[in-house]
Each structure stands twice: as C-alpha cells, then as structure tokens.
C-alpha cells in the first residue's frame, strides 16, 4: 500500500474542539434565543495544509476522520513534479464532524476542490 502525505492530527483535533466549543450549551445560551433559532448548526473550520507533489497527473493523500486515501486529478498544464498545497476544512453540524472539503492549489491558484461526506 502506498504511503501518502497526511494532515497533522493535532490541527484536526483543534478544529474539532473549536467546533464543539462553539456549539456547547453555554455558548448557545450566551448567544441568546434569536441567534440560536437562526443557527442551522453548520460550521466549517480549517484543519491545516500540507505539501503534496503532482505525480502521474494527480495528487494523492490520506484524509483524516476515517475518510481514507484519495487521488485527485490535476489538469495537464500542471507538470508532474510540481509542488502543490492541499488544505482541508472540517465540516460539522452542531460540533459533530460530517465531512471534509479539500482544496489543492499550485502557486496560490486553486486547481482542484473536492468535498467528502456532508459539507
């Protein structure tokens, strides 16, 4: 089995902690009833970025939270060997993780974006 880059587990845990604390009972009480009614519970938080390398027209990496490994296609104008940045957002509903949004960029330009689960 191939070994792919993966995101920092401490950054993932920090994003999940922030989501849970935002939706804890005390925070909701402080926000007041109007804010609680308007809140649909969805929140996405940054889970960190890593460097990945384009190989065979794709970038491959391990996803957190049990989503496994993924290889995403890269447009052919991005040459093999190019270094890209993969960033992840953790999607939650009332503090419970429901999905991931992965964005891959080269030279600051987004080249592919993919969601997993419910985002």
Q: Tens digit of pLDDT for each residue in 24-45?
A: 765 656 666 655 566 778 899 9
- pTM (predicted TM-score): 0.85
- From CA 103, how far away is CA 112, in angstroms rounded? 6
Rg of the chain over CA atoms, in angstroms? Answer: 17
Asked if residue 78 lies in contact with residue 69, where contact means CB atoms within 8 angstroms, the answer is no
Burial (CB < 10 A; 0-12, 13-18, 19+), residue 71, is middle
For residue 59, give Cα distances in angstroms to 1, 19, 43, 54, 90.
16, 28, 27, 5, 20
pLDDT digits (tens, 9 = 90+) for 52-110: 999 999 999 999 999 999 999 999 999 999 999 999 999 999 889 999 999 999 999 99
């Amino acid at each position: 089995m191939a070994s792919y880059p993966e995101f920092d587990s401490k950054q993932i845990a920090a994003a999940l902690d922030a989501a849970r604390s935002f939706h804890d009972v005390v925070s909701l009480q402080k926000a007041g009833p109007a804010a609680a009614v308007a809140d649909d519970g969805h929140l996405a938080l940054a889970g960190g970025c890593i460097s990945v390398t384009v190989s065979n027209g794709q970038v491959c990496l391990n996803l957190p939270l049990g989503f496994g490994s993924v290889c995403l296609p890269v447009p052919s104008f991005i040459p093999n060997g190019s270094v890209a940045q993969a960033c992840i957002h953790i999607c939650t509903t009332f503090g419970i993780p429901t999905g991931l949004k992965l964005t891959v960029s080269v030279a600051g330009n987004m080249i592919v974006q993919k969601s997993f689960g419910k985002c």
